[in-house]
Amino acid sequence: MGRLTHANGDIYQGQFIDGKAVGKGTLVDTNGSIYEGEWLDDMQHGKGVEKWEKGSYSYAGDFQMGKKTGFGRFECADGSFYEGEFLDGKFHNMGIFYFAESGKTYEGSFRDNKMNGRGVMLWPDQTKYEGDFKNGKMEGHGIQQFVNGDRYVG
- Are 35 and 85 members of one domain? no
- Per-residue pLDDT for 143 more than 90? yes
- Are 33 and 82 members of one domain? no
Residue 67 covered by a domain: no
Total-model pTM = 0.92
Residue 72 covered by a domain: no
pLDDT at 54: 82
For residue 46, list its beta bridge partners. Answer: 63
- Are 96 and 141 members of one domain? yes
Domain with 27, as residue range(s), is: 1-55
CATH number for the domain including 86?
2.20.110.10
Q: How many domains does the chain have?
A: 2
Residue 69 covered by a domain: no
- Are 87 and 47 members of one domain? no
pLDDT band of 55, cuts 50, 70, 90: confident
- Are 47 and 103 members of one domain? no
- Are 20 and 92 members of one domain? no
Name the CA radius of gyration of the chain, rounded: 20
- Are 86 and 153 members of one domain? yes
Per-residue pLDDT tens digits for 65-115: 999 999 999 999 999 999 999 999 999 999 999 999 999 999 999 999 999
- Are 44 and 91 members of one domain? no
Residue 39 covered by a domain: yes
* Count of residues making up the chain: 154
Residue 46 covered by a domain: yes
- Are 94 and 132 members of one domain? yes
